[in-house]
Structure 1
């Protein structure tokens, strides 16, 4: 038989069993669709992670008390001064910060926010930019002035005119009046649980005097000169802590932003891989469905196979006919899965899920579909091809 005749026979059989073929391909459709969705959502999650950390230098270190360990030492300004003024080859800048939840109010509008006490270095170290006004300075810190810099989202919550109207206005933090001297540009970032977009920054000494309580634990943010100096900077920080805290550096932990980014990316990638495994299982089930249907088809078409062999059809012709049928069914299922995944993108975005369509996802879904169909279609095809003409013609 010629290849054209084989393909024609395949399409005739498919067209005469449309409903059965469609039901057979459902498993492939669902499986390929699931793989594409998982890859797209996985890439969307990774994009969200990168967006969240885009303003965070991988050369940023955080120093804080070790969690879960009873500590007698706390970080203070002396530690920061030692990092700023010491002759170190890896440390570029440092800042100390304290944080506490506060109630923010402006006339009849109130909001619960996180306030951070910091110095003028906070802006540079955390890659923050101002939209309006100015940042806190050294004078405000020394004089314990009641001034604040707020995030743009918080400004829009408190003021009808938004961030442009905030500078110069007085707000109350826990009932005490503070003047707004600056509004930050929206960053979308999160700094150890502090969102600059909704948060408040005030002079460190002001925060110590008016905002913080005995449970507040200072943290130090260190900016390293370059990414290759991270490990050296950790050693220098440990040396300072040992000197200032009489060898008790083990009561403090040093975290680097780069490891946080890598950990977040690895978590997203692991979740994606796990879900792809689940989708592959769905495809395998779909492949088993194709195998079962083709085995039934072989049984139903035994006499037809016998006639084909009797008039000269070779074993490879029968094998190719049934194998092509399996490949066409699985490929069609994969293509339908891709089409559905494209059509459903607006719905995914409307419910707030991050989804990034990709050629990789479409290719993976389609290739998996064809491979599964070919694998599970081979056995029925081989069984059909191995039938003896005389036995097939005598089959009832």
Structure 2
């Protein structure tokens, strides 16, 4: 951007034909403020620009300090055309070359004296320890060594102006732009400030003083009088120094390193936390919306997962992963096939199969004492409770060893128990006559109910498969049907195909068997999962959107309330990206705190529900997802207010309330 070093004889600041007007768009009247200003200022000069209110002197200062751009004309800084600099390069100039001293001090109310002074160095990337030491040294030099931690409202007007001067010197203060620095001070404090400015001028700083007070202006070495936007007088006293004072600055190259982002991020987080504490009520209300949103998502997901697992468990008892197989005549004609023990053993070896359970069942006369009834006697292996997800309510189920040993044992269904033993809560050890054989009662199954179109399981009694074949169903040469449990509902179709291929190969190419699966139940499970996921997703979206809208509203209010602070930060060198990061950090911090509080609140509510007997299953993924969504919501909804803040005009922001 700069070719070579600046010429020693060239002015530090050169204005040619500078004009500035406002309005002229959208039907607004055109108001001209500056009319062709020509002005040269050399390094080391102490210049006073004097004029009455409305003469254009403050507008001229804003242009000189790169807070505003001229409507026409050329402004050269060290020979470089400022009009060619982008927003970040102008911010670099304000940060490294200029130091502002305002009539209204323009200190940030929530920051201490030391923190206000450090601000330009933060955006310059100065390490914290170094900038703290420099701020302390500057304040001590200006007689405020005992006021480092005081906030502006704890300082007098003169002390606040000295803090402002210290801030202007933080990054070197090569050019001090002082706009009515004594205007709000008493005569004694005003004299002290002018003495400081003369001392700085003697030390080689370039001082540009804007004032309406001719007595104050007379203390400068050069007085420029401005009236109605034109220079009407220039004393040209000491129009430059002896030439030994030169400003070793040039506009920042585009590839120059910016301030360390982590340091600025931490500083933004510190400021955001302080702002949250200073606005406790508003922050609490905003946090409440986020907490409710995150907690509701976590609790609803936990309840939904608990309900889903309960539903899946109940559906599992109906056979969502179960296939049924039996023999039948092949479609090409011929006798029905035979399902042998070897076939069952081969099926058990398939990787898609978890369990194989042969079943024989028919209505058989069952007697106890004087009571008898035709009851469906269910002869199956010891795996029946596992296959059907069905546990005994009383006693136990028989074992594989008892089945192999042909033990005469029986487990009653819930209704069978009530029929044969209405006055006996514990029938264990009693004897039932099934057909012509006695069986000992060893358990009672929990109540299950009937499947659609099937016999009521609670009316049945259950005996070991081999014992049933030997004692009750002697004529049976093969099972009535076989219940096969696949590894999961997702592999049922693959299991069916594997079974079909295996049995066709074993049966010499004949498909003399039939296989049926629980497709309707699988579809019901899938529909349940999908509906629940959609419902919970909508709940999560609504909750987080509501919380995000609250964040956006608060951030918009914050930008409006802190417009002047934004202007101050821009004046000391903050880039648009710095302002954007500042407010995005604040929005993220609000949602971060709200998200953490929401996590804890959700866990607390979940614990209460668990104690109350509600099926709740917490998911770490769901909790992390809800937390991440809350933070993302803060970024998304905080971006617009942050972008609005970053694009504020520095001059208008400084004038804002």
Sort the TM-score into its range (normalised by shorter chain): 0.5 to 0.7
Q: Deviations over 1:56-105 (max 9, x none)?
A: 998742369xxxxxxxxxxxxx97x8435897896676325469xxxxx9
2:570 aligns with one of 287, 293, 309: 309
- Which residue is 2:238 aligned to? none
- Which residue is 1:230 aligned to? 496
Alignment pair present for 1:289 and 2:545: no
1:387 aligns with one of 637, 641, 648: 648
The Cα shift of 1:376 comes to 0.8
Alignment pair present for 1:370 and 2:637: no
The Cα shift of 1:279 comes to 1.0
Q: Deviations over 1:297-345 (max 9, x none)?
A: 2122222222332233332332222111100111111111111111122
Larger deviation, residues 295-304 vs 191-200: 191-200
Q: Distance between the aligned counterparts of 2:593 and 2:424, measured in 1?
A: 56
The Cα shift of 1:53 comes to 7.4
Aligned length: 342
Larger deviation, residues 366-375 vs 313-322: 313-322
Alignment pair present for 1:280 and 2:541: yes
Q: Deviations over 1:93-138 (max 9, x none)?
A: 6325469xxxxx999xxxxxxx64323x35445647884586999x
Q: Distance between the aligned counterparts of 2:607 and 2:423, measured in 1?
A: 32
1:18 aligns with one of 267, 273, 280: 280
2:339 aligns with one of 83, 90, 99: 83
Larger deviation, residues 49-58 vs 371-380: 49-58
Q: Distance between the aligned counterparts of 2:279 and 2:418, measured in 1?
A: 62
Which protein has greater RCO, CA pairs closer than 8 Å, 6+ apart?
Answer: 1
Cα distance change on mapping 1:287 and 1:382 into 2, 3 Å = same
- Which of the pair is proportionally richer in helix? 1
Alignment pair present for 1:94 and 2:358: yes
Cα distance change on mapping 1:19 and 1:307 into 2, 3 Å = same
Q: Distance between the aligned counterparts of 1:319 and 1:161, measured in 2?
A: 78
Q: Is this contact kept in 2: 1:36–1:361, CA < 8 A?
A: yes
Q: Deviations over 1:250-296 (max 9, x none)?
A: xx981259x85686366336513531232122201211221122112
Q: Is this contact kept in 2: 1:29–1:333, CA < 8 A?
A: yes
- Give the TM-score normalised by the residue count of structure 1: 0.64
1:201 aligns with one of 424, 448, 461: 461
The Cα shift of 1:346 comes to 2.9
Q: Distance between the aligned counterparts of 1:316 and 1:38, measured in 2?
A: 38
Q: Distance between the aligned counterparts of 2:648 and 2:593, measured in 1?
A: 28
Larger deviation, residues 150-159 vs 272-281: 150-159
Q: Is this contact kept in 2: 1:305–1:384, CA < 8 A?
A: yes
- Which residue is 2:303 aligned to? 41
Structure 2 SS opposite 1:344: helix
Q: Distance between the aligned counterparts of 1:237 and 1:154, measured in 2?
A: 37
Q: Is this contact kept in 2: 1:306–1:391, CA < 8 A?
A: yes
Give the gaps of 5 or more residues in structure 2: 1-118, 123-263, 327-334, 349-356, 466-479
Cα distance change on mapping 1:328 and 1:51 into 2, 3 Å = same
The Cα shift of 1:149 comes to 2.6
- Which residue is 1:8 aligned to? 270
Q: Is this contact kept in 1: 2:587–2:634, CA < 8 A?
A: yes
Higher Cα Rg: structure 1 or 2?
A: 2
List aligned pairs for 1:1-396, cutoff 5 A: 1=119, 2=122, 3=264, 5-48=267-310, 60-62=322-324, 82-84=338-340, 94-97=358-361, 116-119=376-379, 121=380, 123-124=382-383, 127=386, 131=395, 149-151=411-413, 163=426, 165-168=427-430, 181-184=440-443, 192=451, 200-201=460-461, 220-223=481-484, 230-233=496-499, 254-256=516-518, 260=521, 264=525, 267-268=528-529, 270-395=531-656
Q: Distance between the aligned counterparts of 2:594 and 2:586, measured in 1?
A: 12
Cα distance change on mapping 1:89 and 1:22 into 2, 3 Å = same
The Cα shift of 1:373 comes to 0.4
